[in-house]
Structure 1
Amino acid sequence: MREGLGKKFNVIKAMPRNIARQELGQNQHDLDLGIELQAEIDGIGMGVLRDGTPFLTGRGLARLVDIENLHIRTISHEWNEDPLKPRVARIKEILDKSGINYKNAHIEIVDGSRTIHAYPAPICLAVLEYYAFDAAKPRDKARDNFRILAGKALQELIYSKVGYDPTGQQRFRKWHERIELNHQSAPAGFFSIFNEAHPIIYELIMAGAEIGEKMVVDISIGKGWASHWDANGLAKRYGDREKFPHRYPDDHPQAKSNPQIANCYPLESLGEYRRWLQEDYLGQGRFAKYLRGRIPPSVAELAIERLSPQEIEKKN
């Protein structure tokens, strides 16, 4: 690539391992998506959506193809016209050969005060191929870039440039760091809410929630359980709770006041805690209330579904 991303593509030493992923097709455009990571490299805006979809911005795609941004916007506007303009018809034909069908040319993402038009990588490649070979005036730069970025190369380039790990391990990093600091911090004979919260945190991550310094689920659970403990006089039944030091990783703002002093509870009360967690915190909607406004509704719904207790299957 002689301009734009330039020779930097050729010096990437390793690409993230690609995993099988269903393309973002017609029925998936209505998902409540957000941006996981984004960057601008040599004037080309790119990023990854929270479902793992790599994308270029409209301006980034225009620069890659060597056309005016207006032409990219026009492709979006004409995407669902009937009859289709020849250019859009040919781009859709290129996508159809790979079994890909998009409801719209771009995905509109609200990122703070900005609205970003995210063009998924397959659409970017189809547009690039059109301007490289099928346009009335093919672009030399588009042809050069297409030869380098065809197949999965554009996806891998975006993942690499923004630092995205498609294996999914990166999303567990901050949670794992807290586990390393605190997995054995509660004293003998007691349990901590953080350690007991692992199943909920895991299911949230698997549903697509970003767990880190801005979303500390065990604090919400701990407050609810402490209120239940006091309101029901459980210390008389199980003994007094104790205090122990809890630490946050250095990149968390909470680390400034390390160690945090947290409650731990007698092991004898663990059954009562798990009953309360299942029937009250999860069953009575406290968990759903906590999630509201913190993560996209579609992610919250999936997390709640994953955590809903299943009935024991009866044998005949």
Structure 2
Amino acid sequence: MLSVQQRSLGLFSIAETSNNDLPMGVLSDGTPYLTVRGLAKVCGVEHTSILRLIQKWSEEKDKPRGVKIAELLQAQDYHDQNLYISASGIHGNFYAIPDAVCMAILEYYAFDSDKTDKEIARTNYRILARSSFKLYVYTQCNYNPNQKIDDSWQAFHERLLLNDNIPINYFSIFKELSTVIVNMIRGGCKIDDTTVPDISVGQIWSRYWVQNKFDESYGSRCKFPHVYPDTFRQSSGGEYEAWIYPADALGVFRKWLYEIYLMEKFPKYLNTKVTRGAIIAPDATKLLDVLQKPGQISQNS
């Protein structure tokens, strides 16, 4: 059984919903999850209470609430050090709380908490225990676990896993484009070795970097190995080198990506994909509508 840390590498949401104002979804490895706000709602508590619990689990597990939840986690055969999976979704990075953790915390609030009103937690615990948490989330998200993962998701996931070792004080164009690529796949755009948006973005950003002499402002960029999956024709060339940039310039890049690339350059890029049949025109229009609206990246959603 893979640990949370192992499963966290490159995981992203491939199905999600907010039915009944309850944010939930399924990760690319099939793990059903609730967000922090989703779990707080079924437990009938403030989301800050759940957020504090999962972020400071190393401290919380020795307190009365944590001790009891730890026992329930053990009963769920859950032994990882973290209570969440760091994943990416349509609005950026977030904490995905896996099914075993959700059920253990919900059971605590339903039967062991000293809260005066446990009815919300008890009602939701009965619902989820009756149908199974996994089946409930799969049904709400219209997710079919027997359906083979789309080739585009697979290609994207493989690239993420192969290129997850960027030095902490640098950022890569490919990893920064994860949310854009996820939206492209959801919008119907086929992602394969002929559709590699980070190459287009990387070339234009590189020129912008040089023109503005950002080496002098943020430090020198450098080349770093980039590997393509075997299913990509580019893999025949072996290991490539791509520019990575000082982390101090990350805010500048994200501002440029939204204000210049997505607004001015990306429509032209998409048009070439429509011409080549990688995406149909109506889906391209919807995709632009999503990406040209500034999103929010939140760890407590």
Task: Give TM-score, length-normalised by structure 1.
Answer: 0.49
Structure 1 residue 35: Cα displacement: 1.1
Q: Which amino acid aligns with 2:189?
A: E
Structure 1 residue 133: Cα displacement: 0.7
Q: Work out the CA distance in 1 between the residues paired with 2:159 and 2:104.
A: 28
Task: Choose from 72, 78, 98 the match for 2:56.
Answer: 78
Check if 1:150 corresponds to 2:126: no
Offset of 1:281 from its aligned partner?
Answer: 4.8
The separation in 1 between residues aligned to 2:21 and 2:153, in whole angstroms, is 37
Q: Contact (CA 8 Å) 2:8, 2:85: kept in 1 or not?
A: no
Give the conservation status (yes or no) of the 8 Å contact 1:29–1:103.
no
Match of 1:284 in 2: 237
Residue number among 43, 46, 69 corresponding to 1:91 in the alignment: 69
Residue 173 of structure 2 aligns with which residue?
Answer: none
Q: Is the 8 A contact 2:11 2:88 kept in 1?
A: no
* Counterparts of residues 186-265 of structure 1 (less than 5 Å): 204=155, 213-217=189-193
Alignment partners' CA distance in 1, 2:34 and 2:24: 4
Query: What does the per-residue CA deviation read over 1:210-257, in whole Å, with 9 as the maximum and x for residues that have no partner?
Result: 87623143678xxxxxxxxxxxxxxxxxxxxxxxxxxxxxxxxxxxxx
**TM-score with structure 2 setting the length:** 0.51
Q: 1:77 offset after TM fit, Å?
A: 2.9
* Shift of residue 202, structure 1, vs aligned partner: 11
Shift of 1:152: 6.2
- Cα pair 2:155 2:192 within 8 Å, conserved: no
Give the superposition deviation at 1:30: 4.0
Q: CA RMSD in A?
A: 3.6
- The alpha carbon displacement at 1:42 in A equals 0.8
| Contact persistence 1:51–1:208 (CA under 8 A) | no
Is the contact made by 1:25 and 1:100 (CA closer than 8 Å) also made in structure 2?
A: no
Bigger Rg, which one: 1
1:124 maps onto 2:106 in alignment: no
Give, in angstroms, the shift of residue 62 of structure 1: 0.9
Unaligned segments of structure 1, at least 5 residues: 1-21, 176-200, 221-276, 291-316
Deviation at 1:107, TM superposition (A): 2.0
| Structure whose residues are more often helix by fraction | 2
After superposition, the Cα gap between the structure-2 partners of 1:70 and 1:204, relative to the gap in structure 1 and judged at 3 Å, is closer
Q: Using CA pairs under 8 Å that are at least 6 residues apart, name the structure with larger relative contact order, 1 or 2.
A: 2
Is 1:56 aligned with 2:9? no
- C-alpha deviation, 1:44, in angstroms: 0.4
What is the distance in 2 between the residues matched to 1:219 and 1:157?
Answer: 35
- How many equivalent pairs are there? 183
